[in-house]
Chain A
Amino acid sequence: MSAPARKGLLTRLLELGALLGLFALMLGVDRLTGSLSGGWQRTGRDVAAIGFFLLAGTLASSLLEIVRLPHLTGFLLAGIVAGPQVLHAVDHQTVADLSVVNSLALSLIALAGGAELRLEAVRRGFRSLVAATVVQNGLALLVIPATFVLARDLVPFTRGMEMPAVFAVALLWGVVAITRSPSAVMGILSQARPAGRLTDFTVGFVMTSDVVVVVLLALVMTAVRPLLQPGATLSLAAFGDLGHELLGSVAIGTTLGLLLVAYLRFVGRQVLLVLLLLGLVVVDVVAYLRFEWLLTFLTAGFVVQNFSRQGETLLHAIENTGEVVYVVFFATAGAHLDLPLLGTLWPAALLFFAVRAATAVAGARLTARLAGDPPELRSWGWAGLVSQAGLALGIAERMQGQFPAFGAQFGALAVAAVALNELVGPVLFKLALDSSGESGKGGAPAGDGD
């Protein structure tokens, strides 16, 4: 079991006191300096907010160990409570300023995800992965759009739409629903340090699911455009672009991986600086070239792990950096959560959350039967697939540009549904790793003493 609660009552009280003191300090300074403005105030706010999120997230996650909740939930809760929707210890502008951490965090997550994909484990679980990819995505693309159509009365922006248009929007919603969260999975792995079939399967599925989502998104958008935009025709040009994007991403990722291998092998110093460079610059360069940077980083990590002896060195370096980055990333994500919106759209969001989770459970059972999976996969293979985060929101944002007529409301519903998945998913995955006995088998859990 991961992160056993070894701390005494006094330590817990000290942590609680420090957490409350931190909130009081931030709010007090905010009150004292509320009338001041200028670039120096903004700089101070940003730097203090990163420190605050790091501390509040770390302390909240430590306190939540008592009830065996994952650290990630602690990071999110710290962000929600401190954020502009609740206590306003960190304001909207600061939360927006901190979004620069997102690309850094996601690049590290993709790099670590690729490095966790060991060829031997992929080969061993190949049958399960292929079966799950087909079953999970196929089932979700059937059940979730059908639910959307049936429950369209709960979705305000579909009122007044013709049935073919509702069907088209439902299919787009289906694509959003099949996105997973590599960040949540990696966040839990960094805490629980698990090893086993469930871990290998979840990492393999979630990391490769991004590619599946990108392909399906292009397919579905091409197919539904004529139903949503009168006068639009079915164009296959998008597939040429997609092929170019995917192949290019893999090629760049391979090159990047080889460069990383050479760096780690021959230099091996200031790896932190190189990771910062990758996360803050290479991400944008790859995106500027219109390649899929998550796939690029995934490939780079995969190359380092499987075609060199530097895989563990890379993972170790990412872990050291990632621990800090994850806390800030998820706390910022918590502060970003639009709670008033969730309050408005909760019936639809709750329904879609429940149906999506139930589909994942059913998909896991069916996959296990088809692929002959071991019991831990049969029971818990679905748990790591519930979390959603950045990719779902990214797709929703893209919809706003592509379909302005309903994109904004579609995006709002996605934010509400993702909020639920983001909060509940990590708890379920942690529970699954603990219950299947895989937690801690990959090394000392992060919350443990050493």
Chain B
Amino acid sequence: MSTLQSLFVLLLVAYMGGFLMGGRGLRGRGLPSGSEWLVTGLVVGPSALGLVGGADVAHFAPLALLAAGWIALLVGLTFGVDRERRIGAIDVALGVFVGSLSFAGVAGAVYLVLARVPSAGALFPGPRERVAIAVCIGAALADTSRHVARWASERLGAEGPLLERVAGITRSDDIVPIAAMSLLISLDASRGVPAIPLAGFGLGGALGLSLAGLLGRSHRPVAFWSLLFGFSLLATGLAERLDLSVLGAGFSLGLFLAIASPLRARARELAGGVEGAIILPALFLAGARTEAVSAPALWILGAALLARLGTALVAAAVVAAVDPRARRGGPGLSLAFLSTGPLGIAIALSVNLRYPGPAGSLVLATTVAAALAGEFLGPPALRRALRRAGEVPP
């Protein structure tokens, strides 16, 4: 059986595993961050059962690239809106603040450990390397999963101002990690391509406007789908070839399409419709590529997780200070901001592919650990907060 076949058979296993681990039988919605896919990948990957070899997994770089581009497209398309409802300026500002806080807190903690703990610092002695690792881990952990609010709405039937606030914030904080990674990649000239800051945004923006122009006002589903998918792949592939940020290109493609096209709602519906088919295999792949980290690297991983927890507590306090209604959720709200989602995993996976070796492995392992911790702590905390706020039906 070829690598591709093995992977897809294992994906089927993961898919079925998702039903079981999600505990919802054939409804198949799984966990909000898709952690069952991560865990299945971990179990069958080289670090555990070894059913998929490290070299096999390396063949699937296009899948990771595709997932990163598609997630960024979705983020761009849905930036500032939640299910066709415009997100208020306060939510956007809070989202950007929460994202920036998480990014700065985690990146700062990682850099501090690298600078102050000799055994950890010895792993990555170069100052540029340390900055890059800090930025990558900070970016990967800066995102709070958008799916956690959707999960609460769909699974718990929750509705109300607190949930809307959480949804608004989690939809707006994505821009921070995307911007951070785009800047880092556009300044990295290690592949022999001259650095052009934020050129990925320019490429995606130009393609997004072209797509909006081609779509016009007509509503032809077949051409629509082919054009949307085609432009996303083109932006992703060209950004990679030109060594620009795939995330930046995908995000601005989606953002400019949403701004310029009257068919933005249809585009969101189409892009969201295949989200699972593209993202879930990427989560599986991320799990399969995750390796155990060395003892000194555990300092970095631990510091990142603690910083993430700390920034979540501060973020919840700030949100509560700004919005009195959020106080009704109680202190548990802070843990709700711990859920990291597919965007973080996509960032970590693309870093893992771009910087193979200890740096890439550390970023991926830290992000997977954060995603699993967030999955266990985030959704129950949100449920408690929503119950306390009276937004979950009895």
- CB pair A38–B191 under 8 Å, yes or no, is yes
B220 close to A (CB within 8 Å): yes
Fill in one digit per residue for B206-223: 1 if any A CB lies within 8 Å of its CB, else 0: 000010011010111111
- CB pair B237–A55 under 8 Å, yes or no, is no
Residues of chain A whose beta carbon lies under 8 Å from any beta carbon of chain B: 7, 11, 14-15, 18, 21-22, 25, 29, 32-33, 36, 38-41, 43-52, 54-55, 57-59, 62, 100, 266-267, 269-270, 272-273, 276-277, 280-281, 284-285, 288, 320, 323-324, 327, 446-450
Interface residues of B in 191-210 (CB under 8 A from A): 191-193, 210
B15 close to A (CB within 8 Å): yes
- CB pair B229–A324 under 8 Å, yes or no, is yes
**9 tightest Cβ-Cβ pairs between the two chains A and B:** A48-B237, A51-B233, A44-B240, A51-B234, A54-B230, A47-B237, A44-B241, A55-B230, A281-B8
Q: Indicate which residue in A40, A266, A273 contacts B354 across the interface (CB closer than 8 Å).
A: A40
| Residues on the A chain within 8 Å of B233, using CB | 47-48, 50-51, 54
| Residues on the A chain within 8 Å of B225, using CB | 320, 323-324
One of B61-69, B122-130, B294-302, B377-385 contacting the partner: B61-69
Interface residues of B in 48-89 (CB under 8 A from A): 61-62, 65-66, 69
Most B Cβ at <10 Å: residue of A50, A285, A288:
A50
- How far apart are the CA atoms of A213 and B243 in the complex, in Å? 49
- CB pair B220–A51 under 8 Å, yes or no, is no
| Residues on the B chain within 8 Å of A320, using CB | 225
- CB pair B11–A273 under 8 Å, yes or no, is yes
- CB pair A288–B1 under 8 Å, yes or no, is yes
- How far apart are the CA atoms of A15 and B215 in the complex, in Å? 10
Most B Cβ at <10 Å: residue of A33, A48, A272, A288:
A48
CB of A147 to closest CB in B, whole Å: 41
Known contacts A47-B62, A267-B28; is-contact A276 B226 (Cβ 8 Å): no
Q: Indicate which residue in B1, B193, B226, B277 contacts A272 across the interface (CB closer than 8 Å).
A: B277
Most A Cβ at <10 Å: residue of B223, B225, B239:
B223
- How far apart are the CA atoms of A22 and B2 in the complex, in Å? 34
| Residues on the A chain within 8 Å of B353, using CB | 40
| Residues on the A chain within 8 Å of B238, using CB | 25, 29, 44, 48
| Residues on the A chain within 8 Å of B227, using CB | 55, 58
Determine the residue in chain B with the shortest Cβ distance to A448.
Answer: B220
- CB pair B241–A50 under 8 Å, yes or no, is no
B265 close to A (CB within 8 Å): no
- CB pair B236–A269 under 8 Å, yes or no, is no
Total A-B contacts with CB atoms under 8 angstroms apart: 150
- CB pair A277–B8 under 8 Å, yes or no, is yes
| Residues on the A chain within 8 Å of B192, using CB | 36
- CB pair B226–A58 under 8 Å, yes or no, is yes
B280 close to A (CB within 8 Å): yes
B232 close to A (CB within 8 Å): yes
| Residues on the B chain within 8 Å of A280, using CB | 4-5, 8
- How far apart are the CA atoms of A342 and B239 in the complex, in Å? 36
Fill in one digit per residue for B8-19: 1 if any A CB lies within 8 Å of its CB, else 0: 110110010000
Q: Indicate which residue in B28, B61, B234, B281 contacts A269 across the interface (CB closer than 8 Å).
A: B28
B321 close to A (CB within 8 Å): no
| Residues on the B chain within 8 Å of A15, using CB | 214
| Residues on the A chain within 8 Å of B281, using CB | 273
CB of A62 to closest CB in B, whole Å: 7
Fill in one digit per residue for B76-114: 1 if any A CB lies within 8 Å of its CB, else 0: 000000000000000000000000000000000000000
| Residues on the A chain within 8 Å of B232, using CB | 51
CB of A293 to closest CB in B, whole Å: 13
CB of A237 to closest CB in B, whole Å: 28
- CB pair A29–B231 under 8 Å, yes or no, is no
- CB pair A43–B61 under 8 Å, yes or no, is yes
- CB pair A54–B229 under 8 Å, yes or no, is yes
Interface residues of B in 256-310 (CB under 8 A from A): 274, 276-277, 280-281
Q: Indicate which residue in A7, A39, A272, A449 contacts B61 across the interface (CB closer than 8 Å).
A: A39
Q: Indicate which residue in A45, A284, A324 contacts B226 across the interface (CB closer than 8 Å).
A: A324
- CB pair B226–A270 under 8 Å, yes or no, is no
- How far apart are the CA atoms of A433 and B12 in the complex, in Å? 40
Known A284-B1, A284-B5; further 18 A-B contacts with Cβ < 8 A: A18-B210, A21-B210, A41-B241, A43-B240, A44-B65, A44-B237, A55-B230, A55-B231, A267-B26, A267-B28, A270-B277, A285-B5, A288-B1, A324-B225, A324-B229, A449-B219, A449-B220, A450-B219
CB of A242 to closest CB in B, whole Å: 25
| Residues on the B chain within 8 Å of A22, using CB | 234
- How far apart are the CA atoms of A323 and B192 in the complex, in Å? 38
Determine the residue in chain A with the shortest Cβ distance to B239.
Answer: A44
- CB pair B220–A277 under 8 Å, yes or no, is no
CB of A43 to closest CB in B, whole Å: 5
Known contacts A48-B237, A58-B227, A324-B225; is-contact A281 B9 (Cβ 8 Å): yes
| Residues on the B chain within 8 Å of A62, using CB | 223
| Residues on the A chain within 8 Å of B15, using CB | 270, 273
B242 close to A (CB within 8 Å): yes
- How far apart are the CA atoms of A273 and B18 in the complex, in Å? 14
Determine the residue in chain A with the shortest Cβ distance to B19.
Answer: A267
- How far apart are the CA atoms of A269 and B162 in the complex, in Å? 30
- How far apart are the CA atoms of A28 and B71 in the complex, in Å? 27
